Copies of this chain bind each other. A is one copy, B any other.
Amino acid sequence: MRVVALAGGVGGAKFADGLAQILDPRPPQTAGEGRRHTQEHAGIRGGSRRFVNHSLTVVVNIGDDFEHLGLRICPDLDTVTYTLAGLAHPETGWGLAGETWHAIEMLDRYGGATWFRLGDHDLGMHLFRTGELKQGRRLTEVVAQACSRLGVAARVLPASDAPVPTMMETDQGTLAFQEYFVQRRCAPVVRRIRFEGVEAAQPTAEALAAIDDADLVVLCPSNPLVSINPILALGDLRERVKRRRVIGVSPLIGGQAVKGPAAKMLRELGYESSSLSVARQYADVLDMFVIDTVDAEQRESIEALGIRVWVTDTLMKAVEDRVRLAREAIGFAVG
């Protein structure tokens, strides 16, 4: 069974990890370094679009990406990569477990820009990516190599190799996403969200081929406005997803996001903050939707949109929660 998950943010990464542990179980980590995986030899550099040995492909939002202090930072790709590698920080969900902060402490001492927290271990990824991109490699290749070296069994694909920065038009002016999200802590009132350059940018051939081959496409419990929409907006990706069997998992529980500004953002843009509201936005795409038990009363309204509904506990606290939720979603989708 071939599954493609569209993901961004911490919730998306956690659910993708749940899928990975069912579909592409992680091998026990060897000490010191990730094992070389067949992915590196299976075609990305050779141009082949078909992959073997991968049940799960995660297509990741690149709208959060930005350049900072000379480095190309891809927060969603890194969150997914670290989470699938079992290296993510267990509390924050972003960044690495056991991180140290010597570089940013020195940066602070010099009076530099410290609003985006760059950990020492994490810097290794940014340095690697920036260096490889400057050599002319595609982001897709660079991500594949990093994942391979970390022993990630699932295939992780950026939605596009081109930058398509999410721009937040707010009451405090137009802000790049990380300026809005990290530097201003989501305080500005959002008036409009733009994906800059989306008309010209294309999804990668790898992402399109994975979707075309998928038995199931999953919209992870990510922010619809700034994690999933930026992926669906690329080229004809949304049209291609529509042709597949598609299940979504609501990112909202009782109208609130577990993490991040989804609820505030939905309201500011004139939407209701509810699983029903999210289902409406995805209505052209979704066949099935998973919502939380506290939102069970929205079931009928969502089903009225022609979407089958599964109601369960969607909060992912421990790793076991990810696996259970993923198993329920997959079971419902293929059942």
Contact = CB atoms under 8 A, between A and B. Distances in A.
21 contacts: A69-B131, A70-B72, A71-B71, A102-B123, A102-B124, A103-B103, A103-B120, A105-B121, A105-B124, A106-B125, A107-B124, A109-B124, A109-B149, A109-B150, A110-B145, A110-B149, A111-B145, A111-B149, A112-B131, A118-B127, A120-B123
A70 B106 contact: no
B128 A102 contact: no
A176 interface: no
Given A118-B127, A127-B118, A34 B109 contact: yes
A110 B130 contact: no
A318 B41 CA distance: 53
A199 interface: no
B69 A127 contact: yes
A132 interface: yes
Contacts of A100: 100, 102, 120
Given A72-B70, A127-B70, A146 B110 contact: yes
Contacts of A72: 70
Interface residues of A, number: 37
Interface string A111-137: 111000010111111011011101000
Interface core residue of A104, A110, A120, A131 (most chain B CB under 10 Å): A110
Contact of A112 (B70, B112, B124): B124
Interface of A: 33-34, 68-72, 100, 102-113, 118, 120-125, 127-128, 130-132, 134, 145-146, 149-150
A70 B146 CA distance: 18
A108 B122 CA distance: 12
A146 B149 CA distance: 36
A102 B108 CA distance: 19
Contacts of A130: 69-70
A70 B124 contact: no
Contact of A125 (B68, B110, B128, B134): B110
